[in-house]
Amino acid sequence: MFEHIERVPGDAILGLIEAFKKDTNPQKVDLGVGVYRDSQGNTPVMRAVKEAEARLLKNETTKTYIGSHGAPAYGEAVLPLVLGASSPVLEANRASATQSPGGTGALRLAADFVASQMPGKGIWVSDPTWPNHHGIFTSAGIKLHKYPYVDADNRLDFAGMLAALKKIPEGDVVVLHACCHNPTGFDLSNEQWQEVVEVLQDRKLLPLVDFAYQGFGEGLDEDAYGVRLLSEKLDEVIITSSCSKNFGIYCERTGCLIMVARNAEQMENVRSQVAIVARENYSNPPAHGGAIVSEILHDAELSAIWREELTEMRDRINTLRRDFVEALKPYGLDQKYACVAEQRGMFSYTGLTPEQVDRLRAEFGIYMVRSGRANVAGFSHENLPYLAKAIAMVNE
């Protein structure tokens, strides 16, 4: 029965983890998968998370199912984090939260919801986007299309994006990255978000906002500007939020599908359908990560520690971005890679070609995605001189 099954290459991003581990080069540098790294190259458990886990372990009384929407306390904590504490959307009971296995799980729920409740509607992703968007939406049976996002000179192509959005058929879904665009690191300004909202309104398009990096761009509230604007101005919005990165709980698979509807009545209708989608996928989400997040967000002291730690991570990344460009100055390459200091979040679309990326890996043990996407959190003040020299060599 299995004779006809062909072996396929593994996931290009996750495959880098294994390849990096096997590399024996003592100077190797991992700029692959999107996880935060400290100055020692570690991905530590955040202090607020450790403390929350200690409390949970002490107070936990059951491991029974938490329901298809997850723990209510988790949803109550995440909704104001994403939409704002005094959001009119929350006041009007227009938003529903469903805990999911990571941001990826939330995307899968969104995809299945669109496929079952909006049959025939297409979905539009930025070109480029996180490669897994393609797999998630097409495997749900949705027709995928692209809108331009980056121009030939590796800059945000906002004019091209807007022109393409204006031609999308009414009722289709448009995937937007709330902040820290993956893979490019090019984010929309507040003014650009306002223009996007107007087009979506005019064209009657449904935004699906992937919000995987809240707090890694400019700040928790600043990064939510687009999401909040869309939710307040439009009747319907889908948001997929992740706690993997900003709480550093990658392996606990903690995310949330937020559905914003026109009114409380329609929100309940939509919510009932999302419960079915979750039930058919995995029944109930895993509980632990959501419990950590709600323990932190419901406690003023832990929240303050968490916010401080998140600020440290963001500041470190933004400093490294600037220092990377500085390190390239002696090679006359600072202008060529100046975009790295302007981009935001964990990723930079460096402009390095696939051939240069291959050489960096083979000759220097420097690992990044072949598109030229580098995880900036993998930079450190120790490896910047080595990185700069290697980049200069592949530019000769």
> From the list 96, 99, 182, 383, which residue makes contact with ligand LMR (rule: CB under 6 A)?
182
**Given the complex with ligand LMR, which of 130 and 216 has the nearer CB atom?**
130
**Given the complex with ligand LMR, which of 84 and 102 has the nearer CB atom?**
102
Which of 30, 172, 223, 245 is an active site residue? 245
Q: How far is the CB of 111 from ligand LMR (least distance, A)?
A: 16
Residue 225 identity (one-letter amino acid): Y
Q: 55 is written with which tokens?
A: 């409390």
Q: Write down the H helix ranges in 213-299.
A: 225-233, 264-281, 288-297
How many residues line the site for ligand LMR (CB under 6 A)?
6
123 beta partners: 144, 173
Active site residue 245: yes
**Strand ranges in 163-219 using DSSP code E only, listed in sequence order:** 173-177, 206-211
Q: How far is the CB of 373 from ligand LMR (least distance, A)?
A: 8
What is the largest distance, in Å, between two alpha-carbon atoms of the chain? 63
Residue nearest to ligand LMR (CB): 34
What dihedral do alpha carbons 283, 288, 292, 298 form, nearest 10°?
50
Active site residue 210: yes
**Given the complex with ligand LMR, which of 132 and 281 has the nearer CB atom?**
132
Q: How far is the CB of 310 from ligand LMR (least distance, A)?
A: 17
> From the list 13, 174, 292, 339, which residue makes contact with ligand LMR (rule: CB under 6 A)?
13
Q: What residues have CB less than 8 Å from 101, skipping those under 6 apart?
A: 253, 254, 255, 282, 285, 286
Query: Is 281 in contact with 100 (CB distance < 8 Å)?
Result: no
**Given the complex with ligand LMR, which of 12 and 45 has the nearer CB atom?**
12
Q: How far is the CB of 335 from ligand LMR (least distance, A)?
A: 28
Which of 172, 210, 223, 306 is an active site residue? 210
Which of 130, 157, 187, 306 is an active site residue? 130
Contact mark string toward ligand LMR, 76..115, x via CB under 6 A: ----------------------------------------
Residues across the chain: 396
Integer CA distances (angstroms), 17 to 23, 30, 105, 369, in order: 10, 8, 21, 11
**Given the complex with ligand LMR, which of 90 and 136 has the nearer CB atom?**
136
Active site residue 130: yes
Helices (H) and strands (E) in the chain, counts: 15, 11
Q: How far is the CB of 35 from ligand LMR (least distance, A)?
A: 7
Integer CA distances (angstroms), 245 to 101, 172, 214, 261, 366, in order: 14, 29, 8, 27, 23
Q: How far is the CB of 357 from ligand LMR (least distance, A)?
A: 15
Q: 125 is written with which tokens?
A: 């992703």
Q: How far is the CB of 75 from ligand LMR (least distance, A)?
A: 23
- According to CB under 6 A, which residues from 120 to 139 bind ligand LMR? 130, 132
Q: How far is the CB of 318 from ligand LMR (least distance, A)?
A: 19
Q: What residues have CB less than 8 Å from 193, skipping those under 6 apart?
A: 225, 226, 229, 230
Distance CA 230, CA 169 (A): 19
Q: 167 is written with which tokens?
A: 């031609």
Number of alpha carbons in the 13 Å side-chain half-sphere of residue 242: 29
Contact mark string toward ligand LMR, 20..49, x via CB under 6 A: -------------xx---------------
What dihedral do alpha carbons 217, 220, 226, 229 form, nearest 10°?
-160
Active-site positions?
130, 210, 245
Q: Which residues bind ligand LMR (CB under 6 A)?
A: 13, 33-34, 130, 132, 182
